[in-house]
Amino acid sequence: MQAPSSISSLYFPAPDGLRLHALDAGPRSEERLPVICLPGLARTAEDFRELIGALAFDRNNARRVIALDSRGRGLSAHDPNAANYAVPVELVDVIALLDTQAIARAVFVGTSRGGILTMTLGAVRPQAIAGAVLNDIGPVIEMAGLLRIKGYVGRLPKPASYAEAVELLKGVMGPQFPALDAASWELYARRTWRKTESGELVSWYDPAISKSLETVDPNEPFPTLWPQFDTFSTVPLMVIRGEHSDLLSPATVDAMHARRADLEVLEVAGQGHAPLLTTKETIDPIMKFVARCDA
C-alpha cells in the first residue's frame, strides 16, 4: 500500500501500446475529487511535484493527485512516429489514464498544452470535468508566444553542466521570468534536462515533439478554442496568467471573464509563460479552488 507521504510512479499503456508514466499520490476518497495535472508541451509531471505534495498530503483535504507525463516526455516512452505528438493522440492518452484508473470525474490542472488538452477533453467528455484550472492558456493563443516556443523547443544546444543549463534557460526565458531567484532557475534547469548514467545532460522530452510546431505560421492565426472553453459553463473555472506572458493576453482573460462572470483569475507577478506552480503564491489559491469543487 502506498505510504501516506509518498509520490509514486504509475505506468499504464496507451491505446496504441506505448508505455506511459504518471506521478501518483494521495488517498482515494469518495468525498474528495481527484486532481489530474497535465503539463506543457515540452514539460513533464515533475513541474507539479510541489502541487502534488500540497494537495495529496493536506491534513484536512488529502486527495488523490495524478500528474501525467505525455508521450515522449519525462518517463513516458518516446513515440517512434513523431506525428503522434499531437493533441488528438495525447487526448486519447488522457482518456486512457482516466479509464485505466476508473476515474469518472476529476478536477483538471492544465499548463499550456495541458490546458488545451483539458479544454478539448471538455468537448468530448464533459462529464469528466468537475472543475478546471487553466495555467497561462486560454481559447486565444498569441502568435508571439507560439513563435518564441517554436524557436527553442528541440533546438537548444546540449549543456555541459547545470550551470550552463541555467544560462541557456535564461537566454530564452529570462524576459518571461525576471523575478526568479537562483534556486528557482536551478530547479527549472533540472526539470528541463536530466543527467544520464554517463553524466551528460539530455532533455526530459523527445526533441521530435518540435515537429508538432512546424505548421505554426505567423500569417495563419492559431484556431481559437471558444467552443471548447464554453463546455466549462457549468463547472468551477480558474485561469492563472503570468504577468509577462506572451501566450495568454490580458484581452483574452477579459473575454473569458465576460463569458464566465464567476471565473477566478490569478495573475502571477514577475513570471511569464507559464507560471511555475511551486510556491504558496500559486499553490494556495489552487488548493482553495479544488476544495470548492468538492461541493
| pLDDT by residue, tens only, the chain of 295 residues | 344 469 999 999 999 999 999 999 999 988 999 999 999 999 999 999 999 999 999 999 999 999 999 999 999 999 999 999 999 999 999 999 999 999 999 999 999 999 999 999 999 999 999 999 999 999 999 999 999 999 999 999 999 999 999 999 999 999 999 999 999 999 999 999 999 999 999 999 999 999 999 999 999 988 999 999 999 999 999 999 999 999 999 999 999 999 999 999 999 999 999 999 999 999 999 999 999 999 8
What would the grid cell of residue 117 be? 488538452
Work out the end-to-end distance of the chain between its first and last CA atoms, rounded to an integer number of angstroms: 28
The amino acid at residue 293 is C
| Cell representation of residue 102 | 476508473
**Interior CA angle at 95 toward 245 and 10, to 5°?**
90
Distance from C-alpha of 68 to C-alpha of 201, rounded to nearest angstrom? 22
The whole-model pTM stands at 0.96
**Which residues are CB-contacts of 73 (< 8 A; sequence separation ≥ 6)?**
39, 42, 43, 44, 204, 205, 206, 209
Structural domains in the chain, CATH included, are 8-142+223-293 (3.40.50.1820)
The set of cell numbers assigned to 50 is 510541489
Strands 129-135 and 35-38 come out as unpaired
